[in-house]
Amino acid sequence: MLHVMMMMVCMNLTSPPPTDVYAFKFKGIDGKEIDLSKYKGKKLLLVNTASKCGFTPQYKALQELSEKYKGKVVVIGFPANNFGSQEPGKNEEIAEFCEKNYGVTFPLAEKSSVKGDDINPLFKYLTSTENPDFTGEIAWNFEKFLIDENGHLIHRFRSKVTPLDPAITGQL
């Protein structure tokens, strides 16, 4: 029995880190699983979001980007309450807020953390040393991570870069 347990521990310690975002699955805001592997061949714009932030109006531009570049990029929002408690709502409240105020139809993940000890595994990967050009904790709400068609992080945009900025749209 001890031998089997040791093998299991060793297997977990030696499993290779993800090489792209397609390895990640998580719950959507509606409780259904979102598997990023279903987006192979498309670019992704992954954004940590909040409903009570000065950058919250970017939801409108994210929706416009999602519609205008449909087929080229998939926008996914990740509600998080890490900065100034600006996402206090529950999943249902967040979904209703986004739909009612900004007409959001792009996928939203369930509320999670994007920094700290309880960081969402996807954001741990996106901000880690596996991506040396984009390391470091997220500084505020509405940071954007652009993923290429092969599932690799190609650019990170800070909160002040709006979704329709040519720095983003020029890469779509």
Q: Is residue 16 part of a domain?
A: no
Instruction: Quick: pLDDT tens for 23-55.
Output: 999 999 999 999 999 999 999 999 999 999 999
* Known catalytic residue at 120: no
Identify the active-site residue in 101, 131, 141, 150.
Answer: 101
The number of folded domains in the chain is 1
For 118-139, what is each residue's pLDDT tens digit? 999 999 999 986 666 677 889 9
CATH number of residue 90's parent domain: 3.40.30.10
Range of the domain at 152: 22-169
Q: Is the pTM of this model over 0.85?
A: yes
Q: Exposed, middle or buried: residue 107 (CB in 10 Å: 0-12, 13-18, 19+)?
A: middle
